[in-house]
Amino acid sequence: MEIILKKDVAKLGHADDIVTVATGYAVNYLIPQGYAILATPSAKKIHAENLRQRAHKEAKFRADAEALAAKLAETPVKVSAKVSESGKIFGSVTTAQIAEALVAAGLQVDKKDITLESDIKALGTFEATVKCYKDIKGTVSVEVVAE
């Protein structure tokens, strides 16, 4: 029996794959659990149209993400932190502070998409990686200065 997977199924396929499985497996497990739908001719046409539209949207998202990655590379940000008399930072610079500095610079970035190689606990310039879209990442230069 041919089915169209709606979700990833281990050892069977990924979402939107058309696969052939045993009738009992499809009727008793995959379809009732919402993992698949029956691959009728009309469902295949709808599936093909959805894939075509999704590919168009995917191309737009990728172009936007690449533009954001290019802007991140050319936009260094400054983050101010409280410093002791000896020059050490109280605490550390967080991804939330970096995200706020990027928003102030005009770039919409979520703090969950920012990763640091190590905690920033000193003054200086550091690199942060920003996940723009799936496999597209950008780097931003973060300068930590004293308040």
Question: Is 101 in a helix, a strand, or coil?
Answer: helix
Look at the block and give the residue holding tokens 């940000």: 77
Give how far the C-alpha of residue 31 lies from the chain's centroid of Cα atoms, to the nearest Å: 29
The string of pLDDT tens digits covering residues 107-140 is 999 999 999 999 998 899 999 999 998 889 999 9
In angstroms, rounded to a whole number, what is the distance separating the alpha carbons of residues 41 and 47? Answer: 10
Average pLDDT over all residues of the chain: 94
Cβ-contact 142, 81 below 8 angstroms:
no
DSSP at 83: B
Cβ-contact 93, 79 below 8 angstroms:
yes
pTM: predicted TM-score of the whole model, two decimal places: 0.72
Cβ-contact 114, 50 below 8 angstroms:
no
The domains of the chain, with CATH numbers, are 2-63 (3.40.5.10), 66-146 (3.10.430.100)
Give the phi and the psi of residue 11 in degrees, each rounded to 5: 65, 15
The string of pLDDT tens digits covering residues 22-31 is 999 999 999 9
